[in-house]
């Protein structure tokens, strides 16, 4: 079966934070489609990365869409600042707040494309009510917080399940997948329905980034 072409979104989480401008250049020259920015607050996940100022400072140095993933508690309090900083897609976790539907509306009204994400232990069923309102669903295939982890084997079932629901309901959100993606497992993730693939460790640890991106696509 020929897989549909997929979007590739390298995550700067695995880049050298002392030289993120070069990391953006590597992403751009690799032929990747998006820049994935992993925002972590040290509460929702056991790691701390960066805030809206980082997004704003990086924004002028890339023409690619910024796919901003908020792994933070109370995302409704900060979402607008990431949009003002230049986020094109803004993804938040269903597990991090009560009123997800309201935040989706707010993100869209502010001009960004809303996305929701679920951690490995959250069932797809938790997202069903929101699927008609989002541009993407980010399926975490590792426990969020760190790059370079191995993909959880059962995660493929969740992607397939989400893909089936999308087909049955005629929704048109993109299925984005993040965590442990590499050349060896990319085709099975695509085959399960992954339409965008995030890669951090594998992308930033490979010399031939252009070849890696083509191998994932």
Q: Judge whether 89 and 113 are in contact, CB under 8 Å.
A: yes
Binding mask 194-213 for ligand DX5 (x = CB under 6 A): ----xxxxx-----------
Residue 181 binds ligand DX5, judged by CB under 6 A: yes
Q: Please state the closest distance from residue 88 (CB atom) to ligand DX5, in A.
A: 16
The end-to-end CA distance of the chain, in Å, is 14
Q: Which is nearer to ligand DX5, 74 or 149 (CB)?
A: 149
Site stretch for ligand DX5 (CB under 6 A), options 48-56, 87-95, 103-111, 192-200:
192-200
Which pair of tokens denotes residue 58?
């990086």
Site stretch for ligand DX5 (CB under 6 A), options 6-14, 85-93, 99-107, 153-161:
6-14
User: Looking only at residues 161 through 180 of this chain, which bind ligand DX5 when binding is defined by CB under 6 A?
Assistant: 178-180
Q: Which of 114, 144, 156, 194 binds ligand DX5 (CB under 6 A)?
A: 144
CA quadruple 192, 40, 104, 107: dihedral sign: negative
Taking the C-alpha atoms of residue 179 and residue 5, their distance in angstroms, rounded to an integer, is 19
Residue 142 binds ligand DX5, judged by CB under 6 A: yes
Q: Please state the closest distance from residue 147 (CB atom) to ligand DX5, in A.
A: 3
Q: Which of 7, 8, 11, 195 binds ligand DX5 (CB under 6 A)?
A: 11
User: How do beta strands 136-140 and 174-178 pair?
Assistant: parallel
Residue 75 binds ligand DX5, judged by CB under 6 A: no
Tokens 């979104």 sit on residue: 9
Residue 10 binds ligand DX5, judged by CB under 6 A: no
Taking the C-alpha atoms of residue 41 and residue 204, their distance in angstroms, rounded to an integer, is 23
Taking the C-alpha atoms of residue 53 and residue 148, their distance in angstroms, rounded to an integer, is 25
Tokens 């390298």 sit on residue: 10
Q: Please state the closest distance from residue 18 (CB atom) to ligand DX5, in A.
A: 18
DSSP-assigned states of every residue in 177-210: EESS--HHHHHHHHHHT-SEEEESHHHHT-S-HH
Q: Judge whether 82 and 103 are in contact, CB under 8 Å.
A: no
Q: Please state the closest distance from residue 168 (CB atom) to ligand DX5, in A.
A: 28
Residues forming contacts to ligand DX5 in the complex (CB under 6 A) are 11, 13-14, 36, 38, 69, 142, 144-149, 178-181, 198-202
């Amino acid at each position: 079966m020929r897989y549909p072409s997929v979007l590739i979104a390298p995550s700067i989480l695995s880049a050298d934070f002392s030289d993120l401008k070069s990391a953006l250049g590597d992403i751009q020259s690799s032929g990747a489609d998006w820049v994935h920015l992993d925002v972590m607050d040290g509460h929702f996940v056991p790691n701390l990365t960066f805030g809206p100022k980082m997004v704003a400072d990086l924004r002028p140095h890339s023409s690619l869409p910024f796919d901003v993933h908020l792994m933070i508690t109370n995302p409704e309090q900060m979402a607008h600042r990431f949009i003002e900083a230049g986020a094109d897609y803004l993804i938040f976790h269903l597990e991090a707040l009560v009123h997800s539907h309201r935040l989706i509306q707010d993100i869209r009204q502010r001009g960004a494309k809303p996305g929701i994400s679920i951690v490995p232990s959250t069932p797809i069923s938790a997202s069903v009510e929101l699927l008609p309102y989002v541009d993407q669903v980010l399926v975490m295939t590792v426990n969020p917080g760190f790059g370079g982890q191995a993909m959880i084997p059962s995660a493929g079932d969740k992607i397939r399940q989400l893909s089936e629901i999308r087909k049955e309901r005629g929704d048109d959100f993109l299925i984005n997948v993040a965590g442990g993606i590499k050349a060896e497992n990319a085709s099975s993730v695509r085959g399960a329905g992954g339409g965008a693939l995030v890669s951090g460790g594998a992308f930033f640890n490979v010399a031939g980034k252009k070849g890696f991106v083509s191998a994932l696509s």
